[in-house]
Structure 1
Amino acid sequence: MDIMILAIVFIIYIFALVLVGYYAWKGTESSEDFMIGGKDTHPAIMALSYGATFISTAAIVGFGGVASEYGMSVLWLAFLNIIIGVFIAFVFLGKRTRRMGHSLGSLTFPEFLGKRFNSKFIHYFSGLVIFCAMPLYAAVVLIGAARFLESSLMIDFGISLFILSVIITFYVFFGGIKGVMYTDALQGVIMVCAMVFLLGFVYWLLGGVTHANTALTDMVGLYPASATATGGTGWTTFPELGSPFWWSLVSSTLIGVGIGVLAQPQLIVRFMTVKSDRELNRSVLVGGLFIAIMPTTAYIVGSLSNVYFFDKLGKIAVDVVGGNVDKVIPTFITMALPEWFVYIFLLSLLAAAMSTISSQLHTQGTAFGVDIYGTLRNKAKQKSDQITVTRLGILIAIILALVLAFSLPGSIVALGTSLFFEICAAAFLPVFLGALYWKGITAKGAIAGIVSGTFVSLFWLLFVFAKTAKGLGLCKAIFGCATLLPAMPWPYIDVMLIAVPVSAIFTLVVSLLTKPPAQEVIDKAFENIGNKGSEVQ
């Protein structure tokens, strides 16, 4: 690998990020600029930022690695990402979120919920959940990028983590959401270009679409025994209905991530950065194309890496990397593609990681500065030091992410992503939907839904769901068994299928049994809901 060429590529890339970050910093003059970009973000930038935040190294490295082990059935997730993560999110949730958020004067997702229900507790508790849970997601995204640096450039894993953290923290710390979104847009363009080339090159390398897919199908005899034992049927077929593999794929991956995206605070806040519904409508096409290209390519390439590795080394992908699926995509790129593309793909992977982590840091920082500290601070004084405390929260967040990144085991990227998506969905999804569409939901009902969803999800992860309960060992230490419900299918049913219905039931029942919200609270929240063309004044 030519270090001089690599250095030039990186210098140009870092210079571009610094330049964009400086431009964002110059335009950041108020809390509103720092938190939601002044509510006048261009629709293309908003869409690219949304997509780049959504699709991180977790999708490319983590789920691409999962596809290398289990096959193309993961492609159903890409379909859900487009339909639910973009179309439904933008059209049915984004517009109401934007109008209601602007009416309420919200700067963050927890503040949106707190003001919608006129509840200081909801504001504080939601911020606490986000600030405590998101370091796991940030850590696995960091791991995905650092693994590629380790595999392709032979840079020590720990050093890679540190370099990434310093660069990302710099432009988030100074530029706020504008720094995040503008750099996201730049990084999103790099990601799309790299992935389009990657998909075309891989199919060319393997003899064309038909030949490559047929070769993968014919390798069914090499399908991992562990996958077959749990219900897997082949690289290009769906697992057996009701099997442990089926439950894991459908509940954890497809439902957990595919639907859990609707309750992601770092994505929801994007809807409040544009000035009208027209901007959201214009964002759908750009966002949809971005999501269609990115995960689809990662899942196809991950699956087809088995054909390449078997032809060259006589082994399937998971055996080549010693069982750590997080190394499959980096190893395949390094071995199979031209050296110049390794540089480009490295940039795209760094872009994917940096765009997602920057949004995570910004979300955690605002959760700390606005939602936790801001609700405890004297109201007259909290505005004066809001940005300063938010920046302190950003520093704490990156430190927590680094500690976890050094501590987590291998093959954790996809699982860690799923867990965060599901905890957020359990805590917020029913209440968020109710806040947008049901005027009868009460503050006590919302509190019951958020608290029940949070604690049921944590209980299920610690004591029932096999992947996490066995790995953490807390259930074994307390009760002497790996999981409290060992009979099929309970250890394989994802937390979202349990906690989200519980949260919804608590929200509904408590709302019906408690005093309806004050009319002025309803009027304030729904002030602009009927005004479809409303813009920021």
Structure 2
Amino acid sequence: MDHQLLYILLALYLGVTVFLGYLGFRHTKSAKDYMIAGGNVHPVLMALAYGATFISTSAIVGFGGVAGVYGMSLLWLTACNIVVGIFVAFVFYGIKTRQIAHALQVKTFPEFLGARFDSPFIRKFSAAVISLTMPLYAAAVMIGGARYMEEALNISYTSAVTVFALIVFVYVFFGGLRGVIYTDAMQAIIMFSGMVILVILTYSMLGGVTAAHAKLEAIKHLVPASLAAKGHQGWTAMPAFGSELWWFVISTLILGVGIGVLAQPQLAVRFMTVGSSKDIYKGLSVGSLFILCIPGVAYTVGALSNVYFFEHTGNIALAATAAGGSAPNVDKIIPLFITQAMPEWLKYLFLFTLFSAGMSTLSGQFHIISTSISYDLNPKGGRSDKRTLLLARLGTLFGFVITTLLAFQLPLGVIAVATALFFGMCTSAFLPMYTAALYWPKITPQGAIWSMVTASVVYLLVVLFVHEREAAIFGVCSKIFGVSTLAVAPWTYIDPLVITLPVSSLVLVVASLLTQPVQQAAVVK
């Protein structure tokens, strides 16, 4: 397949994307259309949009690359994604969220929390947290797509980021959530097709399922000594129980991302887009199949890439990314494997798969950033639908600029770390009070506020001064105290969520019980 045909296919793909964005624009006449797509989306479209927004280039490129380093232990994350991210999210969170959101007539996640507790502060604080931290996750998604474009099209990283970002920005800016959901559904189908073909060709190339896994087990002696010392036991086994790598896989990847999905604002708002609770049940099977395929394939192929690189270069996957004297980069394992191991036609099909994965997630992220800034932080600013739409589109521009700048500034191999950071912050700050808002009548506004604020502050402090991986990236602890972290093992590698989620939950319960409204005694006449 030559580049001329690639450009024709790319033009066709972008043409359909623009057309669907235009349909969204044509049907976006009110704030309700822009925020929740009118509240009457088909359940299959909702499920596809949910899955496409949930699973991004961060999962395929970033976490797929992590699987190339740590192995198939990441498949436990896929299981957690299905059980928690789909079944629990849809049945126990989605239905109640849709019912309460429709009763309160709210359009965004911060507005949902604020209205549920009758607290403007909760609405604004949660919107601020989303606006300030979502660009970090969005940048991780953008980096994933750009890294593959860089390899597949042989263009500069700067050009790849610029093209990727501009395409997403245009159709979110005009189409609102209707445009996002229309394109998400199309992109989900492309993602599913691309990943199914990828796993079939990978196993075929390595001699079949049994042979491929046997080969992967046979090269466990190639695990670098530095990783083996931290608990790595080969690419077909879990890290040693209680080791540094075990804590990373369990607490940061499986717990942080697997449970963190429940408190993702860009996903919670999807439940508000359907017309009834029955529609959420109808989307369960579609969402489960989608999650089983996309991350499941990415993590499997990431681990198996070690076999391919060993057979063709004598190196494991991470070492192969350092060819030519460059620094090893976990984010380049999947792009390098696709471009070197797969046939030319799949290389371009996978390009559209990653386009779809990245654009579907980025569109949802930019949409949440825009509504948080224009609608939730400034609830009195949109006195008319026309003004609300204008402010929302300006918010999209803000999110686009910050995300793009971060994509250029973040260090190598940061995709999985940045994703886990955002999931961890949202889980700590929102999940306890979000859960209690749905199921615990005794929660009070004061309890929700203290839980949210305490969790946000504690999570930030642990990230900057305790957890070594992130503390080293931000460098605040080093600049102030001259050391990378103030803690000692094992706290330096146990994910911040393990500390902050219990703290947030405890504060919520204690503060709510201490601030229960005083019951007025009946007056006896």
Corresponding position of 1:128: 128
Change (3 A) 1:425 1:108: same
Corresponding position of 1:389: 391
Deviations along 1:59-85, one digit per CA (max 9) or x if unpaired, are 000000001111111110000000000
Distance 1:191 1:326 in 2: 19
Distance 2:140 2:384 in 1: 33
Corresponding position of 1:19: 19
Q: Which 5+ residue runs of structure 2 have no aligned equivalent? A: 323-327, 521-525
Deviations along 1:116-139, one digit per CA (max 9) or x if unpaired, are 000000010000000000000011
Corresponding position of 1:522: none
Q: Secondary structure at the match of 1:363?
A: helix
Change (3 A) 1:88 1:347: same
Deviations along 1:339-389, one digit per CA (max 9) or x if unpaired, are 111111000001000000000000000000111122xx368x365511111
Change (3 A) 1:191 1:478: same
Corresponding position of 2:410: 408
Answer yes or no: is the 8 Å Cα contact 2:370–2:399 preserved in 1: yes
Answer yes or no: is the 8 Å Cα contact 1:426–1:500 preserved in 2: yes
Corresponding position of 1:156: 156
Deviations along 1:472-492, one digit per CA (max 9) or x if unpaired, are 221122223221112x21111
Answer yes or no: is the 8 Å Cα contact 1:302–1:329 preserved in 2: yes
Answer yes or no: is the 8 Å Cα contact 2:374–2:381 preserved in 1: no
Q: Which moved more, 1:143-152 or 1:16-25?
A: 16-25
Alignment-mate amino acid for residue 497 of structure 2:
M
- From 331, 335, 343, the equivalent of 1:338 is 343
Aligned residues: 515
Corresponding position of 1:502: 503
Corresponding position of 1:472: 474
Distance 1:277 1:518 in 2: 35
Q: Secondary structure at the match of 1:126?
A: helix
Distance 2:471 2:340 in 1: 36
Answer yes or no: is the 8 Å Cα contact 1:84–1:262 preserved in 2: yes
Alignment-mate amino acid for residue 512 of structure 1:
L
Corresponding position of 1:347: 352
Alignment-mate amino acid for residue 335 of structure 1:
Q
Distance 2:68 2:272 in 1: 37
Alignment-mate amino acid for residue 170 of structure 2:
F
1:265 and 2:270 aligned: no
Alignment-mate amino acid for residue 436 of structure 1:
L
Distance 1:181 1:227 in 2: 42
Corresponding position of 1:361: 366
Distance 1:432 1:357 in 2: 24
Aligned pairs for 1:275-424 (under 5 A) are 275-322=275-322, 323-374=328-379, 377=380, 381=383, 384-424=386-426
Q: Could you tell me how far 1:277 is from its partner in structure 2? A: 1.2
- From 416, 427, 432, the equivalent of 1:430 is 432
Distance 2:386 2:209 in 1: 59
Distance 1:271 1:517 in 2: 35
Corresponding position of 1:57: 57
Deviations along 1:479-528, one digit per CA (max 9) or x if unpaired, are 23221112x21111111111111111111111111143999xxxxxxxxx
Alignment TM-score, normalising by the size of structure 2: 0.96
Distance 1:162 1:384 in 2: 29
Answer yes or no: is the 8 Å Cα contact 1:43–1:274 preserved in 2: yes
Distance 1:81 1:30 in 2: 34
Corresponding position of 2:325: none
Change (3 A) 1:77 1:517: farther
Alignment-mate amino acid for residue 329 of structure 1:
I
Alignment TM-score, normalising by the size of structure 1: 0.94
- From 452, 455, 460, the equivalent of 1:453 is 455
Deviations along 1:92-114, one digit per CA (max 9) or x if unpaired, are 11000000000011110000000
Alignment-mate amino acid for residue 349 of structure 1:
L
Answer yes or no: is the 8 Å Cα contact 1:69–1:318 preserved in 2: yes
1:511 and 2:508 aligned: no
1:444 and 2:446 aligned: yes
Distance 1:293 1:208 in 2: 18
Q: Secondary structure at the match of 1:41?
A: coil
* C-alpha RMSD of the superposition: 1.3
Answer yes or no: is the 8 Å Cα contact 2:30–2:386 preserved in 1: no
Distance 1:516 1:98 in 2: 27
Alignment-mate amino acid for residue 213 of structure 2:
N
Corresponding position of 2:92: 92
Answer yes or no: is the 8 Å Cα contact 1:52–1:187 preserved in 2: yes
Aligned pairs for 1:517-528 (under 5 A) are none
Answer yes or no: is the 8 Å Cα contact 1:260–1:424 preserved in 2: yes
Q: Secondary structure at the match of 1:289?
A: helix
Distance 1:506 1:384 in 2: 41
Corresponding position of 1:535: none
Answer yes or no: is the 8 Å Cα contact 1:104–1:115 preserved in 2: yes
Q: Could you tell me how far 1:153 is from its partner in structure 2? A: 0.5
Change (3 A) 1:378 1:152: closer
Distance 1:310 1:505 in 2: 49
Q: Secondary structure at the match of 1:385?
A: helix
Corresponding position of 1:532: none
Distance 1:384 1:204 in 2: 55
Distance 1:443 1:294 in 2: 39
Corresponding position of 1:481: 483
Corresponding position of 2:34: 34
Change (3 A) 1:335 1:378: closer
Corresponding position of 2:147: 147
Alignment-mate amino acid for residue 120 of structure 1:
P
Answer yes or no: is the 8 Å Cα contact 2:114–2:122 preserved in 1: yes
Answer yes or no: is the 8 Å Cα contact 1:443–1:517 preserved in 2: no
Q: Could you tell me how far 1:470 is from its partner in structure 2? A: 2.0
Corresponding position of 1:256: 256
Corresponding position of 2:523: none
Answer yes or no: is the 8 Å Cα contact 1:173–1:394 preserved in 2: yes
Work out the percentage of aligned pairs sharing the same amino acid. 49
Answer yes or no: is the 8 Å Cα contact 1:441–1:517 preserved in 2: no
Answer yes or no: is the 8 Å Cα contact 2:139–2:407 preserved in 1: yes
